[in-house]
Structure 1
Amino acid sequence: MGLKTENGSEASGFKFLIYGRTGWIGGLLGRLCTERGIAFAYGAGRLENRAQLEDDIAGNSPTHVFNAAGVTGRPNVDWCETHRVETIRANVVGTLTLADVCRERGLILINYATGCIFEYDGKHPLGSGVGFVEEDTPNFVGSFYSKTKAMVEELLKNYENVCTLRVRMPISSDLANPRNFITKITRYDKVVNIPNSMTILDELLPISIEMAKRNLTGIWNFTNPGVVSHNEILEMYRDYIDPKFTWKNFTLEEQAKVIVAPRSNNELDTSKLKYEFPELLPIKESLIKYVFQPNQKTSAS
């Protein structure tokens, strides 16, 4: 597939090659590029197939590569527990192959990773406001998905051309999307109530494009500053979207009985990202501005 452009974007000098066309983030990235007049193409190759990746790059001559592909599991990460080889192939072999091909060609790879590789501990207690920083060693090994993500992050540290973005519990203004964290928890019979760092895609995906333009690399905690709990989000949902909405809570112990693998709960320190992008909003402000206020009129009509 050739590079697509809108509004004469060739003049911008940027050409993005994006992996993950059928995925949520990959689709949003393509839409953003179209809106902003940035030339882009979706990679056709399988991540674990080196020759196909080389053909993609040779055929499109990108300035930057974005990886939003990989396996998260459907309907959730429990799938990875029983599909371990498939998970390794996509999340480890595939990501490393893409990083290596990009390095050979002097290209920066923007890699959408996960921050679900940490859990609250003695040095980072729940409610303390002390978050995990980019240099911290992952301490959550409860799910096979998180294990593979922690492994590949450690290996990618050796690639100076990679920008690793730790996304957590992604949220967007599209409340109909089943991948949206808000959509998920509004459909659950019961939810736990734990403060977490989360990623508002409407605000942060444009920042990731800017990071590519600035040729930033290394590991970044890619969440909004601060934490928000499940109940706080559902209260906003009730107040802005559905005044009749109700929900029930249950404990982590009760949750463990209905899921296969434990889930990560943590706070990530966003000082590094906030320093680079001072306009970045705290999580609760971002939720209101980018998610709930835009949906308010729709719900009332």
Structure 2
Amino acid sequence: MAFQNDNPTFLLFGKSGWIGGLVGDLLRQQGARIEFASARLEDRAGVVADIERVRPTHVLNAAGLTGRPNVDWCEDHKIETIRANVLGMLNLADVCHQRNIHLTTYATGCIFHYDKDFPEGSGKGFKEGDTPNFTGSYYSYTKAMVESLLKEYPNVLVLRVRMPIVADLTYPRNFITKIIKYEKIVNIPNSMTVLPELLPLSTEMARRGLTGIMNYTNPGAISHNEILELYKQYVDPEITWSNFSLEEQAKVIVAPRSNNLLDTARIEGEFPQLLPIRESLIKYVFEPNAARKAEVKAAVRSMRGRV
């Protein structure tokens, strides 16, 4: 299948979501031809109607179910999670395949965890072809299941997003915002996705017609403490926090969380200018916030219940 097109038309699913909204804004800024889908993924007739209406060359999917306020929600809503994350995703991939349309889907890399073969701190990352080994949360279980099926579709690019980050440190779904709000955190190095740098690469991947699985993170890993140290350096030198163990964390969450390092050789081969995670965070997050540190510090302290 050939998917490259000099004048693509994009159809975006998930316009009301966080990443979907950012992708829509980005494509408009790029001057791209973009339309927004109205159907839910599990509504195959609605998906077909959207595609027939727009006749896109490329479909981008940022829809899906992660749960509110977090993935613990999925533990008690398994049917809804299956309907959106498995049935809906396969619906979209299949409809696009039948019409020879390229599909890019923003998925998750939270389907792996450190183990004896991939120990924490070893620098050995999970590759695109490795079999997922984390099923601790029902959300991750469904995402790993559907990824194993999506890779059979020759028209699909699966982007494994991890702990997505934006510059807005008050946005509740920003990974940094989440850990800043807590007085106690675990301290584990992880692969992460700095969206201001990586989102433009995703639309370029679609234009290039890339397919298969892509570890969609910045190179390397960074720990929770290292991120808060950067926040302390650039924004608020008075911030404090403490650490607790995974065993202690397990007492305050329903489902375990994934911690891993993803190998980035493939994405670096396509985009050799991609910054390592620490450098990307400084450029796209902490330096911009340092320029308005008083405002940011006040907002964050308010979120933490501090005066």
Question: What's the TM-score, normalizing by structure 1?
Answer: 0.95
Give the corresponding residue for 2:93. Answer: 99
Q: Is the 8 A contact 1:171 1:182 kept in 2?
A: yes
1:183-262 maps to which residues of 2 (within 5 A)? 183-262=177-256
Give the corresponding residue for 1:30. Answer: 24
Instruction: Give me the whole-angstrom Cα distance separating, in 1, the residues matched to 2:221 and 2:123.
Output: 8
Give the corresponding residue for 2:37. Answer: 43
Instruction: Give me the whole-angstrom Cα distance separating, in 2, the residues matched to 1:234 and 1:211.
Output: 32
The alpha-carbon distance between structure 1 residues 12 and 215, as it changes in their structure 2 partners (threshold 3 A), is closer
SS of equivalent residue, structure 2 residue 200 = helix
Instruction: Give me the whole-angstrom Cα distance separating, in 2, the residues matched to 1:243 and 1:56.
Output: 50
- Runs of 5+ consecutive residues of structure 2 not aligned to the other structure: 296-307
Instruction: Give me the whole-angstrom Cα distance separating, in 1, the residues matched to 2:281 and 2:163.
Output: 13
1:106-255 maps to which residues of 2 (within 5 A)? 106-255=100-249
- Runs of 5+ consecutive residues of structure 1 not aligned to the other structure: 1-10
Instruction: Give me the whole-angstrom Cα distance separating, in 2, the residues matched to 1:74 and 1:43.
Output: 23
Q: Which amino acid aligns with 1:248?
A: S
1:63 deviation in Å?
1.3
Q: Which amino acid aligns with 2:206?
A: A
Instruction: Give me the whole-angstrom Cα distance separating, in 2, the residues matched to 1:39 and 1:232.
Output: 40
1:175 deviation in Å?
1.4
Q: Which amino acid aligns with 1:27?
A: G
Instruction: Give me the whole-angstrom Cα distance separating, in 2, the residues matched to 1:100 and 1:298.
Output: 47
Instruction: Give me the whole-angstrom Cα distance separating, in 1, the residues matched to 2:6 and 2:228.
Output: 41
Instruction: Give me the whole-angstrom Cα distance separating, in 1, the residues matched to 2:144 and 2:182.
Output: 28
1:264-283 maps to which residues of 2 (within 5 A)? 264-283=258-277
Aligned pairs, number: 291
Q: Which amino acid aligns with 2:247?
A: E
Q: Is the 8 A contact 1:170 1:200 kept in 2?
A: yes
1:12 deviation in Å?
6.1
Instruction: Give me the whole-angstrom Cα distance separating, in 1, the residues matched to 2:131 and 2:138.
Output: 17
SS of equivalent residue, structure 1 residue 112 = strand
Give the corresponding residue for 1:7. Answer: none
Deviations 1:43-68 (A, max 9, x none): 10010011101111111111100110
Deviations 1:104-153 (A, max 9, x none): 11101101110000000111110000000000000001000000000000
Give the corresponding residue for 1:3. Answer: none
Give the corresponding residue for 1:287. Answer: 281
Q: What is the RMSD computed on CA atoms of the aligned residues?
A: 1.1
Q: Is the 8 A contact 1:160 1:218 kept in 2?
A: yes
Instruction: Give me the whole-angstrom Cα distance separating, in 1, the residues matched to 2:183 and 2:74.
Output: 23
Give the corresponding residue for 2:302. Answer: none
Q: Is the 8 A contact 2:109 2:162 kept in 1?
A: yes
Instruction: Give me the whole-angstrom Cα distance separating, in 1, the residues matched to 2:170 and 2:10.
Output: 28
Q: Which amino acid aligns with 1:59?
A: R
Deviations 1:216-237 (A, max 9, x none): 0000000000000000000111
Greater shift in the superposed pair: 61-70 or 11-20: 11-20
1:78-93 maps to which residues of 2 (within 5 A)? 78-93=72-87
Instruction: Give me the whole-angstrom Cα distance separating, in 2, the residues matched to 1:12 and 1:161.
Output: 18
1:300 deviation in Å?
3.9
Q: Is the 8 A contact 1:12 1:38 kept in 2?
A: no
1:248 deviation in Å?
1.5
Q: Which amino acid aligns with 2:99?
A: R
Q: Which amino acid aligns with 2:194?
A: I
Instruction: Give me the whole-angstrom Cα distance separating, in 1, the residues matched to 2:111 and 2:19.
Output: 19
Q: Is the 8 A contact 2:74 2:81 kept in 1?
A: yes
Deviations 1:74-112 (A, max 9, x none): 111000000000000000000000000111111011011
